[in-house]
Amino acid sequence: QVQVVESGGGLVQAGGSLRLSCTASGLTFGNYAMGWFRQAPGKEREGLSCIRWSGGVRYYADSVKGRFTISRDNAKNTLYLQMNSLKPEDTAMYYCAAAMTGYCSGSWAREASYQYWGQGTQVTVSS
């Protein structure tokens, strides 16, 4: 049984930082590409970043490029998202997801590209 669990969310002031973690079990983590998404109330889920199985290739949405960094530790079955210079508009539920392809396809920002999802962790940025 595959389980994907996010952690590390919380309340932070604008300009602050948070690091999200995502652990996956029940799958061969090192074979999967991993992505981060977020969804704010009343908005569609937004693809933020994707990292290839080896960690060597990463993609970012324009909205977070230069502020967020995705990384992974395959030995620990863990994905990370370092978020710096946070803004109130970053407030959302953050999700991680696993893609069987192992690489970040041209549609990496689409939900349908991922097979396994976590339940999310809430990030709230106060102004």
Average pLDDT of the segment spanning 78-105: 97
Percentage of the chain beyond pLDDT 90 is 98
d(CA 63, CA 47): 10
**Chain segment 57-68, per-residue pLDDT in tens:** 999 999 999 999
Query: Which structure tokens are listed for 46?
Result: 């937004």
**Chain segment 12-21, per-residue pLDDT in tens:** 999 999 999 9
Average pLDDT in the chain: 97
**Chain segment 99-123, per-residue pLDDT in tens:** 999 999 899 999 999 999 999 999 9
SS (H, E, C) the chain: CCEEEEECCEEEECCCCEEEEEEEECCCHHHCEEEEEEECCCCCCEEEEEECCCCCCEEECCCCCCCEEEEEEHHHCEEEEEECCCCHHHCEEEEEEEECCCCCCCCCCCHHHCCEECCCEEEEEEC
Q: What is the pLDDT of residue 8?
A: 98
Measured at the alpha carbon of residue 13, what is the angle toward residues 11 and 14, in degrees to the nearest 5? 125
Q: What is the pLDDT of residue 56?
A: 85
d(CA 29, CA 126): 34
Average pLDDT of the segment spanning 36-51: 97
